[in-house]
Amino acid sequence: MMLQEHIVSFILFFPLLGAVIITLLPRDQKNLIRWFAFLWSLVPLVLASWLWLHLEVGSGYQFVERAEWFPQIGAAYAVGVDGLSTPLVFLTTLLVPLALLVSFSIEERVKAYFALFLFLEVGIIGVFVSLDLLLFFLFWEIGLIPMYFLIHIWGGHNRNYASFKFFVYTMTGSLLMLLAIQVIGLTQHTFDIVLLTERGPFSRVGTLGLPIAMGTLKRLAFWAFTLAFAIKVPVWPFHTWLPDAHTEAPTAGSMLLAGVLLKLGAYGFFRLVLPFFPQEAASYAPILVVLGLLGLIFGSLSALGQWDFKRLVAYSSVGHMGFVIMGVAVAALAQVGKIDPLTASLATEGAVLQMFTHGISSAAMFALVGVLYERAHTRDLHQFGGIWTVMPVYGGILLFATMASLGLPGLAGFVSEFMVMRGVWPVFTGVAAFAILGLILTAAYLLWMLQRVLHGPVDERWLKLPEIKAREVVALAPLLFLMLLTGVWPSWIMNTINAAVVRLLGL
C-alpha cells in the first residue's frame, strides 16, 4: 500500500539512492559498478510500467503526492502523472538501463560515470512529474549538471567547447524561465501548476512595485517560458548547441540527450505554455509553425551536408522535432476555438506521439553510431562502405532503425508524422506543403547515409571488424520492438495520449 501511495516518489528518487550507493562501491570493481547500475536502473522501469498499467485514462492527474516544502513562498513538494507525462516517464526509465548497457565499454572514471547517469535520470523524471513550478525548475537544473559533466569528461576531442556551449545556451533559457516563475509566484502567491492551470497564472492582480501593466507582464512571462523551452527542444535558430553536444557526447549521453532531454522543452510547451498563456500562444502560433518548418527543412539540409555520421544524426533531431513544434502551433489555436476538434486532436496527438517515437528511434540511431565508432574509431562517412558484408547483423539493425526514422509506413515514425501533417494541413496549408520538402530531404540524407555506410566496396581496414555484440543487440532490441509495435498497433499508446490531449485542449 505504501508503495502504491508513493510510487511516483519511488520512481523519482530510486535512481538517486543508486547513485549514492555507487559512490560507496570500490573504485577498482568496475564490473560490479556496471552491473549494479544497470540492474538498479531496471527497478524504476518496472515501477513506471506498473504505473502506466494502472493509470486511469482520462482522469487527469493521478498518484498525486503533496507535502509541505517551502510554505513561506507558497512552494510545495507536489508530484503526479497524467496521460501526457506517463509515456515520457516510461521512456526515460527505459532508455537509462539501455544506455547503461551500451556503456559497459567505458573504462575511465567508471564510478563517476554511472553515478552521474542515475543522477541525470532523477532530473529528467522530476521535470515530467512536478506539479509545482519551483520544483519543476529545480529538476530542470538537476538535469543540466550531469549532462554537462558527461560531455566535458567523457566527450570527444572538442568536448570543452561543446560542454561550455551546451551549458551557456541551456542556462540562458533556465534564467529566463526562473524570472517568469518568480513573477508568477510574487503576483499569485502560489507555484501550484494545477491551480495556476485552472485559474491562469495572472488571474490575481498582484504587485511587483513596477510600472508595468499586467498584460505586458503576461506577455513577457510567455516569451520567457517560450524561449527557455525553444532552446531546449531546440527550435531553429536556437539549435546550434545541439550538433556540437551530440557529436562530442559519449554514446549513451547522446542517447539520453536526443531520447528524452530534448523532450523536456516540448513537454514544457504542452504542460506550461499552452495552459498558462492560451491567448498569447494563439497569437504567435503562425510564427511558431514557421519556426517548426524551418527547423525541419534546415535541419534536413544540414544533415544532408554532413560527412560525420554522428553529426548527421544530430541534425536529424532538429528536423524531426520540427514536427512537434508544428503540432504545438496547431494546439495553440485549438485552445481558443479557432479550428475544429478533429484537426486539433490529430496534430496535437501526433506531436506528443512524435516525442515518444523520436525518442526511441534517435536513441537507437546514436547507439548504432557508437557501435561502429567503437570498432572503426572514425565517423567519417568518406571512409566507410560495404559494412553490411562485414557486419550483416549490424547492417540489418541499422536499416530497420533508419527506416523508422525515415517514416516508413508500418514503423513508428510514420504514424506520428502523418498525424501532424494531417492536422497541420487544414490550418497552415502552405506550411504543410513546404513540409513535404522536409520529408523528401529526410529520405535523401538517410538513404544517402545507408549507401555510404552499408553499400559499395569494402575498405581493407574494415574486413576484420567484429560483429555487433549480444549485449549491444539486447540494448537495441526493446527500441526496435517499440518501433514496430507503434507502427502496426499505435492504439497501445494513443489511448493514453488521446485522453490527455482532450483534457489539454478542452475538447
pLDDT value of residue 357: 93
* CB-based contact 356:493 (threshold 8 Å): yes
Q: Residue 113 is placed in which grid cell?
A: 560515470
Half-sphere exposure of residue 370: CA atoms within 13 angstroms, side-chain side: 31
Find, among 196, 227, 505, 246, the residue nearest to 367 by Cα.
246
List phi, psi (to 5°) of 64.
-75, 135
| Class of residue 470 by CB neighbours under 10 A (exposed 0-12, middle 13-18, buried 19+) | exposed
Beta carbons of 14 and 94 less than 8 angstroms apart: no
Please give the pLDDT value at position 87. 93
- 398-403-407-409 Cα dihedral, nearest 10 degrees: -140
Give backbone dihedrals phi and psi of 65, rounded to 5 degrees, phi first: -125, 135
Q: Which secondary structure element, helix H or strand E, spans residue 66, and what is its range?
A: strand 62-70
Rounded Cα distance, 461 and 446, in Å: 24
- Please state the separation of Cα 214 from the chain's center in Å: 33
Question: How much is the pLDDT for 98?
Answer: 95
Q: Cα–Cα distances in Å, from 369 out to 87, 137, 266, 374?
A: 26, 33, 25, 9
Task: Label each residue of 79-99 as H, E or C.
Answer: EEECCCCHHHHHHHHHHHHHH
- Alpha-carbon gap, residue 321 to 262, rounded angstroms: 9
Instruction: Please check whether residue 331 is in contact with residue 493, taking contact to mean a CB–CB distance below 8 angstroms.
Output: no
pLDDT of residue 237: 85
Total-model pTM: 0.92
Task: Say how many C-beta atoms besides its own lie within 10 A of residue 375's C-beta.
Answer: 18
Q: CA torsion angle for 294, 295, 297, 302 (degrees, to 10)?
A: 130
Instruction: Pick the closest to residue 257 from 314, 323, 307 (CA basis).
Output: 314
Strand partners, 344: none
Report, in this order, helix, strand and coil percent for the chain, each rounded to 5. 75, 5, 20
Burial 290-311 (b: 16+ CB within 10 A, else e): bbbbbbbbbbbbbbbebebbbb
Q: Could you count the other beta carbons within 10 Å of the beta carbon of residue 380?
A: 11
Question: Given phi > 0 = left and psi -120 to 50 = alpha, else beta, which region is 205?
Answer: beta
Contacts of 259 (CB under 8 A, 6+ apart): 91, 95, 359, 360, 362, 363
Query: What is the model's pLDDT at position 362?
Result: 92
Instruction: Tell me if residue 141 falls in helix, strand or coil.
Output: helix
Half-sphere exposure of 88 (CA within 13 A, CB side): 33
| 145 neighbors 102 (Cβ within 8 angstroms) | no
Q: How far apart are CA 350 and CA 354, in angstroms?
A: 6
Please check whether residue 218 is in contact with residue 183, taking contact to mean a CB–CB distance below 8 angstroms.
no
Digits of tens for pLDDT over the chain (507 positions)?
Answer: 567 778 999 999 999 999 999 999 988 888 999 999 999 999 999 999 999 998 888 778 888 888 888 777 778 899 999 989 999 999 999 999 999 999 888 888 889 999 999 999 999 999 999 999 999 999 998 888 898 888 888 887 888 888 888 888 888 888 989 988 888 887 777 888 888 888 766 655 555 555 566 677 788 888 899 999 999 888 888 888 888 888 888 888 889 888 898 899 999 999 999 988 888 888 888 999 999 999 999 999 998 888 888 899 999 888 888 999 999 999 888 877 667 777 888 888 999 999 999 999 999 999 999 999 888 888 888 888 888 888 999 999 999 999 999 888 999 989 999 999 999 998 889 999 999 998 999 999 999 999 999 888 888 888 888 888 999 999 999 999 999 999 999 999 998 998 888 888 876
Say which DSSP state 203 is in. S
